[in-house]
A and B are shown apart, each in its own frame.
Chain A
């Protein structure tokens, strides 16, 4: 089976930096995805990691350590519009199955 853990909820201040962690235990691994989901809307793609290290995309960065089964999403210069849930997802060994964590709800305060 698969087990993907994320904190349930986090709060941060506008303009600050926040790190959302994701740990996973899977029988196979072919990449880790981060999605953003605003309340009542569909998830949208943020980033993808398959090799160890940091991937940077503007204000968002994602890190992966395969040996530790660990990833984080880093959001810089937080804006109010970043208030959303952030979903960590692992793509299984056969490329076809996806396993999602339960999501981290981020509240950005003025």
Chain B
């Protein structure tokens, strides 16, 4: 089954404790992206990647890191999480063509205390 998977689905952590949210897709997509979704603000793009070893900032990259060492995986790293990073996070992937849509993972609900 074609899908985007994220782990963990739910995470409660404390300020300053490094964490990684994994994202994997099995559709051989070139494009992958991370978003956060907050009430009243909609989805905001954090980082995206056009292919292996190619990453770039979205609208809200501060406090986040990403890497793309393999085509299928695109982990999101929070080196020192803070409470303002409490949010619902979505990973997405798609082909690189301009008409191609994105396919979203199930989401990770992160709470930073």
CB-based contact B104/A97 at 8 Å: no
User: What mask results when residues 1 to 18 of chain A are scored 1 for a CB within 8 Å of chain B, else 0?
Assistant: 000100000000000000
Query: Cα distance A81–B40 when bound, in Å?
Result: 23
- B99 contact from A31, A99, A100, A102, Cβ within 8 A: A31
| Minimum distance in angstroms from A68 CB to a CB of chain B | 21
| Minimum distance in angstroms from A83 CB to a CB of chain B | 18
How many residues on the A side are at the interface (Cβ–Cβ under 8 A)? Answer: 24
Given the known interface contacts A87-B42, A98-B45, the answer about A45 and B98 at a Cβ–Cβ threshold of 8 Å is: no
Query: Cα distance A45–B2 when bound, in Å?
Result: 15
CB-based contact B99/A96 at 8 Å: no
- The residues of A with any CB-CB pair to B shorter than 8 Å are 4, 30-31, 33, 40-45, 48, 50, 87, 89, 91, 95-103
- The residues of B with any CB-CB pair to A shorter than 8 Å are 31, 33, 35, 40-45, 48, 50, 56, 58-59, 90, 96, 98-99, 101-107
